[in-house]
């Protein structure tokens, strides 16, 4: 049996059933929110496809092809992925196209895994499109795409799309309870902070980030009450910076919700008093402005490379003071 997260199982069954019945599609596009572990599903389908003697819905795990795959050395599994975290260029696609026009090394299927399909350059996407339009026999393309990213419409039209849904809160809780020994309230809070994504939630609980978040938001509180960026700036750290920004952003969003009288689906229920006190002192317009400032900081940090991160943070924090806190 291949190990699969429970929320991926049904998709695997459906895809493999179609393949077994002879009406599987040669190009599958997997779309999902980040952090759902869909690479596991994509790999499982690839493993099934290259196995020479699958046992119903599962690869046998024993044939030569399975052994090559287990050693991550299968000559008919090709991977297209961004080079040096940039893009997937046309030369990479051409190289793969050349390889798949040849006979399969193991006389079975050939599989091309396209990781981060949104990173294909325009030229690379066009080259791939040609191959998708005129597929060689026994060749399968498995494309992986983050939900918030897009692909050229022409590529979509050549693929069968699989949208992998985020599991329900109940299913996530059941799975998390089996993974970690944690208080149910902590599980619930961590799930909310992580948009109900189970893997990110598990990571948060394992790394004790829930506690770190509380401490970090306390620094945010000091920054707010003392109007001094130095109360929080030193506590941002490179590895967690986006999470830390999300913590602040969700605090601001909760403040705005309370201000507008929306008290359901708050994220920071464990810090409700703080959020309440904070929102009482702000106008809804200022809370909205604070939210926009922090979103812009987040965006700038993802897009602008090579600039001092601290400078972007400092500018955003200063704007919070001058444009929001001191406007009340």
Candidates 60, 79, 165, 262: give the one binding Zn ion (CB under 5 A). 60
Alpha carbon of 127 to those of 123, 124, 153: distances in Å?
6, 5, 14
Q: Does 77 bind Zn ion (CB under 5 A)?
A: no
Q: Which residues pair with 120 in a beta bridge?
A: 88
Q: Does 64 bind Zn ion (CB under 5 A)?
A: no
Whichever of 60 and 180 has its CB closer to Zn ion, that residue is 60
Contacts for 14-23: CB closer than 8 Å, 24+ residues apart:
15/45, 15/162, 16/45, 16/48, 16/57, 17/57, 19/48, 19/49, 20/54, 20/56, 20/57
Whichever of 52 and 121 has its CB closer to Zn ion, that residue is 52
Q: Which two tokens stand for residue 27?
A: 């190009």
Candidates 63, 173, 301, 312: give the one binding Zn ion (CB under 5 A). 63
Angle at 221 (CA atoms; ends 217, 227), nearest 5 degrees: 135
Quickly list H helices, 149-208.
Answer: 153-158, 169-179, 184-193, 198-206
Q: How far is the CB of 63 from Zn ion (least distance, A)?
A: 3
Candidates 32, 66, 245, 317: give the one binding Zn ion (CB under 5 A). 66
Sorted by sequence, the CB contacts under 8 Å of residue 143 that are 6+ apart come out as 27, 28, 29, 30, 114, 117, 151, 155, 159
Q: How far is the CB of 109 from Zn ion (least distance, A)?
A: 12
At residue 86, the 3 state secondary structure works out as coil
* Piece of 39-47, 61-69, 138-146, 275-283 that binds Zn ion (CB under 5 A): 61-69
Q: Does 123 bind Zn ion (CB under 5 A)?
A: no
Binding mask 30-59 for Zn ion (x = CB under 5 A): ---------------------x-------x
Binding residues with Zn ion: total (CB under 5 A): 5
* Piece of 65-73, 98-106, 116-124, 139-147 that binds Zn ion (CB under 5 A): 65-73
Whichever of 51 and 258 has its CB closer to Zn ion, that residue is 51
Q: How far is the CB of 70 from Zn ion (least distance, A)?
A: 10
Alpha carbon of 87 to those of 81, 84, 116: distances in Å?
8, 8, 9
Whichever of 2 and 295 has its CB closer to Zn ion, that residue is 2
Whichever of 63 and 314 has its CB closer to Zn ion, that residue is 63
Nearest CA among 44, 64, 40 for reference residue 53: 64
Quickly list H helices, 61-110.
Answer: 64-70, 90-101
Whichever of 18 and 63 has its CB closer to Zn ion, that residue is 63
Work out whether strand 110-114 and strand 77-80 pair parallel, antiparallel, or are unpaired.
Answer: parallel
Question: Positive or negative CA dihedral for 316, 318, 322, 328?
Answer: positive
Whichever of 2 and 146 has its CB closer to Zn ion, that residue is 2
Question: Positive or negative CA dihedral for 248, 249, 255, 261?
Answer: negative
Q: How far is the CB of 60 from Zn ion (least distance, A)?
A: 4
Q: How far is the CB of 73 from Zn ion (least distance, A)?
A: 15
Q: Does 28 bind Zn ion (CB under 5 A)?
A: no
Whichever of 74 and 289 has its CB closer to Zn ion, that residue is 74
Q: Does 68 bind Zn ion (CB under 5 A)?
A: no
Q: Does 90 bind Zn ion (CB under 5 A)?
A: no
Which residues contact Zn ion (rule: CB under 5 A)? 51, 59-60, 63, 66
């Amino acid at each position: 049996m291949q190990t699969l997260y429970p929320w991926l199982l049904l998709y695997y069954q459906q895809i493999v059933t179609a393949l077994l019945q002879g009406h599987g599609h040669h190009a599958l596009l997997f779309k999902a929110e980040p952090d759902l572990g869909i690479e596991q599903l994509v790999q499982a389908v690839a493993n099934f496809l290259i196995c020479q003697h699958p046992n119903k819905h599962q690869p046998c795990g024993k044939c030569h092809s399975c052994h090559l795959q287990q050693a991550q050395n299968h000559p008919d599994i090709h991977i297209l992925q961004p080079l040096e975290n940039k893009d997937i260029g046309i030369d990479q696609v051409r190289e793969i196209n050349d390889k798949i026009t040849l006979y399969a090394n193991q006389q079975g299927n050939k599989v091309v895994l396209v990781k981060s399909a949104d990173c294909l350059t325009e030229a690379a996407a066009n080259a791939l499109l040609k191959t998708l339009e005129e597929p060689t026999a026994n060749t399968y393309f498995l494309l992986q795409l983050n939900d918030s990213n897009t692909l050229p419409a022409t590529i979509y039209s050549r693929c069968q799309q699989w949208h992998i849904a985020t599991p329900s809160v109940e299913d996530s809780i059941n799975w998390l309870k089996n993974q970690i020994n944690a208080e149910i309230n902590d599980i619930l809070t961590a799930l909310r902070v992580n948009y109900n994504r189970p893997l990110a939630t598990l990571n948060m609980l394992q790394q004790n980030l829930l506690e770190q978040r509380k401490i970090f938001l306390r620094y945010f509180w000091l920054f707010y009450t003392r109007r001094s960026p130095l109360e929080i700036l030193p506590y941002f750290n490179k590895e967690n910076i986006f999470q830390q920004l999300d913590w602040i952003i969700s605090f601001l969003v909760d403040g705005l919700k309370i201000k507008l009288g929306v008290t359901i689906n708050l994220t920071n229920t464990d810090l409700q008093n703080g959020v309440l006190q904070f929102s009482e002192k702000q106008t809804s317009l200022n809370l909205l402005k604070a939210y926009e400032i922090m979103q812009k900081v987040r965006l700038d940090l993802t897009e602008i490379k090579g600039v001092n991160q601290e400078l972007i943070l400092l500018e955003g924090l200063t704007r919070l003071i001058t444009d929001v806190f001191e406007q009340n």
